[in-house]
A and B are shown apart, each in its own frame.
Chain A
Amino acid sequence: MEIKLILNGRPIVREAEPDTLLIDFVRAQGCLSVKRGCETSNCGLCTVMLDGKPVLSCGVLAARASGHRVDTLEGLQAEAEDFVAFIADQGAEQCGFCNPGFVMNTIALLRENPDPTDEEIKAFLVGNLCRCSGYEGQLRGIRAYLDAKKAREKEAQ
């Protein structure tokens, strides 16, 4: 069947099977940041934005996404750039496999809530699993980014 959607700002039309999952569809278009970590809709690695909302692309048919806007980390580099260095500075990740999904959901968090508390960060990112770390480094990284942003804003005033 024909799938028509906006992928990272670019309209595309492709053939896919009725049971093709969105994760496999976007990976076939070269969006390899989207990872399959669990197959049980639990790990958050396959997070993409569907009409701006973070969703698990392993749980959506490409057919249902047809007619909608899909964004992957490939299309959100500028937005991610702001804070990923802060997470790296904490040495938060080891293997990095979970990073794209984590970054995608952090983008969603900061869009919805630009100044979250630690509890709000944890609640929002709880569906992103990392098997190397204890999540403390990632939390410190996001906190450091928010603190740096506030300091910059204060200076600008």
Chain B
Amino acid sequence: MLKINQYVRAQSLDEAYALCQKKSSVVLGGMMWLKMEDRPVGTAIDLCDLGLDRIEEKEDGWHIGAMVTLRQLEQHPGLGTLTGGALAQAVGPIVGGQFRNLAPVGGSIWGRFGFSALLTVFLALGAEVVLHGAGRMPLETFAAQPYGRDILTEILLPKQPVKAACCSMRNTATDFPVLVAAAGIRDGQVRCAVGARPAKAALLTDEQGLLAGGVTPESAQAFADWAAEKLSFDSNIRGSADYRRTLCRVLVRRALLAAQGEEA
């Protein structure tokens, strides 16, 4: 059982950061995952009073606070238009609305969970993260780092609209995905991420020039086949490595074509 010795609602990011430097401290996200852990927590740091639950369009892009819930993310009209609905496609199949009303974006991104459709779609969308401590960095850089003791405060998305889509395969509705693929196309540049391999999402760009002539059913298939060979897959309770590789060939093609606005 999770045992919490002290609960603190941080009144500033500096306070949260200072408290977080102790190894026994934990920053609370939605607790959806944390509460199932069997561990003692010295200080549970709650960021809920810090105004991090806002989605704002500013000069340098869209700022998504770490405490914005998955439900806010999927229902936000501005982000829906910006990403062609890809964020809603990514989080919509996660458990249920009551879960998504609790789970914050920051918890999912901080966790860098293998099953995270959110990490997958944000990689494809070209997101950055802002950490109180290490500062601003591309999400792919953050995703590759070990867990530190900074505070994740925001996710940033470029202002420029992106043609994007997210596709997943689930054994039953609302379960963890067997595989997730997301694609984002901005200025003809393609970013494609594949998650739940079951390792955490990996980002691919078109280094082979397979999509240089545009995203068509044929070029999307060629890219998906290349992705399936290039990426590593593993087996777990939800599916085998071979099954995931096969799914990759389908879901990457579908994500690319859906992002481009073509029938998959």
Contacts and interface: CB of A to CB of B under 8 A. Distances in A.
B3 interface: yes
Contacts of B243: none
Interface residues of B, number: 28
Contacts of A126: 96, 173-174
Interface stretch (B77-85, B97-105, B203-211, B227-235): B97-105
Contacts of A128: 96
A135 to B, nearest CB: 11
A42 B30 CA distance: 14
Chain A contact-residue range equals 20 to 34
B2 interface: yes
Contacts, number: 79
A59 B69 CA distance: 13
B98 A56 contact: yes
A123 B32 CA distance: 20
A2 to B, nearest CB: 11
A145 interface: no
Interface stretch (A4-12, A47-55, A72-80, A136-144): A47-55
A44 B9 CA distance: 27
Which of B6, B98, B101 counts the most chain A CB atoms within 10 A?
B98
Q: Is the contact region of chain B dominated by helix, strand, or loop, or is it mixed?
A: mixed
A73 B119 CA distance: 36
Which of A39, A41, A53 counts the most chain B CB atoms within 10 A?
A41
A155 to B, nearest CB: 33
A78 B201 CA distance: 47
A39 B38 CA distance: 13
Contact of A108 (B36, B97, B173): B97
Nearest to B35: A59
B218 to A, nearest CB: 33
Interface stretch (A26-34, A60-68, A81-89): A60-68
Given A41-B32, A55-B102, A60-B102, 14 more contacts: A19-B2, A41-B35, A41-B102, A42-B96, A44-B96, A44-B98, A54-B97, A55-B98, A56-B99, A58-B35, A59-B30, A59-B102, A63-B46, A126-B173
10 contacts: A18-B4, A19-B4, A41-B32, A44-B96, A55-B98, A59-B30, A59-B31, A60-B31, A61-B46, A108-B97
Interface of A: 1, 17-19, 21, 39-42, 44, 47, 50, 53-56, 58-61, 63-64, 105, 108, 123-128
Those 5 A-B pairs whose CB atoms lie nearest each other, nearest first: A127-B96, A19-B4, A18-B7, A63-B7, A18-B4
